[in-house]
Amino acid sequence: MMETFRQMVNHCIRIGLENNCSTLKRLSMLSYHTLNEYNIQSKYKLTAISQAAGRLSQMKRDIRKGKNPKSPLVSKPYLVSCYGFKINEMLLSIPTGNRNYIHVLLNRHTISQLSVRGIEPRSFTITPNSLSISVRKDVQEIKCNRVIGIDRNLRNVTIGNKNGVMMYKTNKLLSIKENTGHVLSSFKRFDVRVKRHFQQRLGNRRSRRIQQHLHIISKDIVKKAVESKSMIVLEDLKGIRKLYGKGNGQGKKYRRRLNSWSFYELQRQIQYKASWEGIPVRFVDPKRTSKLCPACGDRIQEDKLHTRKLWCTNCKKSMDRDVVASLNISYKGWSRFCHPRGLSDEAMKGNVDWNDVSMQPLILRVDGSKLRSLA
């Protein structure tokens, strides 16, 4: 079945390439009737078309971004479906036709996760060596009265609010990337195929180690947010890669570090884990988060004796710049999402015909999200 499904996906991809089609509706109209030659249930044909449409759409996105995409054709057998399968206690039952099923034994961890109340299995993906089940969970968003601000840096991740600050060191990620680069550069064989396999294996190992380290950090952050019922606020970082391009007057080693910074991977993990628990995640403008004092709001200066310290002339205090940034992010998030306020003069008058005697008394239109009490 897995080999048949792979052939169907490749068949649909070829039709999509011939007709320059990547939308699900048009690809279904072009390819569904041509899948009659495959002896498999119709439910798997629909999923194969969906898989082919996804691969073609990804290829088009890569081309628009200027990348050199790989061939969208599938090389390994697999099976994906969201129709007709059942989970009977410890078994996953996959229909094969004529009321026959293939049963796959699930491990204890999978059974414990599927037995949680509110979790509903939606689809499965099976390969010769693995099985994954996609689930759905109905989550109600938690009403938060507190905010946790997160400042992401190359060497640490700092979270904080008025109740306290905590810093996670990420120096290990830099050493992982640098050590992998040294090992890759030490490869001296001239066989291109062996070198490519070696680079791919080390690159995958590096990605797994980085993801695991960020998984520990993001899991602890979400856990603290659930315990304190706090909203998570992050900086809306955009255009980071453009700042450290070739020709910007920066060193090669410095640009390599910044361009390999995994700031989005941490954001991705925090977002999906927080959504799973019902914790809202919001974003604020990163402008001036490290230039204002979180206590008095005045502009702070760099401490000449310590490169990572900032000095407030009003409060007469020296503070770590990452702590200052996390506090300012939390204050921005609290004032914008938990305690919205605006100017009272933002009421505006509509177009009124003053000569109309029958006109009702004038009522000003006001943005309700920016009201504040004048008492």
Model pLDDT for residues 41-57, shown as the tens digit of each residue: 989 999 999 999 999 99
pLDDT digits (tens, 9 = 90+) for 134-187: 998 888 888 888 899 999 998 899 999 888 899 999 999 989 998 988 888 888
% of residues, the chain, pLDDT over 70: 90
Q: If you count DSSP H runs as helices and E runs as strands, how many of each does the chain have, helices first? A: 10, 14
Alpha carbon 345 to its chain's center: 39
* pLDDT score, position 287: 87
* pLDDT score, position 59: 93
- Statement to judge: residues 185 and 269 lie in one domain: yes
Q: Which domain holds residue 127?
A: 84-137
pLDDT at residue 350 tops 80:
no
Domain stop point among 38, 59, 79? 79
Specify the 3-state DSSP secondary structure of 151: strand
pLDDT digits (tens, 9 = 90+) for 254-293: 888 888 888 899 999 999 999 999 999 999 988 888 888 8
Out of 20-34, 201-215, 300-314, pick the least confident.
300-314
* pLDDT score, position 73: 93
pLDDT at residue 345 tops 90:
no
What's the predicted TM-score (pTM) here? 0.75
Residue 255 in domain: yes
Give every CB contact of residue 190 below 8 A, 6+ residues apart in sequence. Answer: none
Spatial separation of the C-alpha atoms in residues 174 and 253, rounded to whole Å: 12
- Statement to judge: residues 265 and 150 lie in one domain: yes
Residue 364 in domain: no
Mean pLDDT for all residues in the chain = 85
* pLDDT score, position 340: 61
Residue 351 in domain: no
pLDDT at residue 366 tops 50:
no
Spatial separation of the C-alpha atoms in residues 114 and 166, rounded to whole Å: 34
pLDDT at residue 197 tops 70:
yes
- Statement to judge: residues 61 and 202 lie in one domain: no
Kindly state the average pLDDT of the residues 232-242.
Answer: 87
pLDDT at residue 346 tops 70:
no
Spatial separation of the C-alpha atoms in residues 171 and 337, rounded to whole Å: 33
Tally of domains within the chain: 3
Helix (H) or strand (E) holding 232: strand 230-235
Residue 107 in domain: yes
Spatial separation of the C-alpha atoms in residues 352 and 360, rounded to whole Å: 10
Place of tokens 């004038």: 362
Spatial separation of the C-alpha atoms in residues 218 and 227, rounded to whole Å: 14
Residue 238 in domain: yes
Residue bearing the bigger pLDDT, 368 or 340: 340
CATH code of 246's domain = 3.30.420
pLDDT at residue 358 tops 60:
no
- Statement to judge: residues 201 and 240 lie in one domain: yes
pLDDT digits (tens, 9 = 90+) for 49-102: 999 999 999 999 999 988 888 889 999 999 999 998 998 888 999 998 888 889
Domain stop point among 48, 79, 110? 79
User: Among candidates 235, 234, 227, which has minimal Cα distance to 163?
Assistant: 227
- Statement to judge: residues 51 and 105 lie in one domain: no
* pLDDT score, position 74: 92
Spatial separation of the C-alpha atoms in residues 101 and 95, rounded to whole Å: 4
User: Among candidates 133, 10, 129, 26, which has minimal Cα distance to 73?
Assistant: 10
User: Among candidates 300, 275, 283, which has minimal Cα distance to 337?
Assistant: 283
Give the strand pairing for 91-97 and 86-88.
Answer: antiparallel
* pLDDT score, position 49: 94
- Statement to judge: residues 256 and 333 lie in one domain: yes
Cβ burial, residue 155 (10 Å; 0-12/13-18/19+): middle
- Statement to judge: residues 322 and 270 lie in one domain: yes
- Statement to judge: residues 254 and 210 lie in one domain: yes
* pLDDT score, position 89: 81
pLDDT digits (tens, 9 = 90+) for 202-235: 999 999 999 999 999 999 999 999 999 999 999 9
pLDDT digits (tens, 9 = 90+) for 171-183: 999 899 989 888 8
* pLDDT score, position 373: 42
Q: Is the separation of the CB atoms in 333 and 312 below 8 Å? A: no
Positive or negative torsion for Cα 367, 368, 370, 373: positive
pLDDT at residue 341 tops 70:
no
Residue 171 in domain: yes
- Statement to judge: residues 74 and 161 lie in one domain: no
Helix (H) or strand (E) holding 312: strand 309-312
Residue 353 in domain: no
- Statement to judge: residues 89 and 74 lie in one domain: no
Out of 224-238, 242-256, 358-372, pick the least confident.
358-372
- Statement to judge: residues 88 and 10 lie in one domain: no
Residue 196 in domain: yes
- Statement to judge: residues 101 and 41 lie in one domain: no
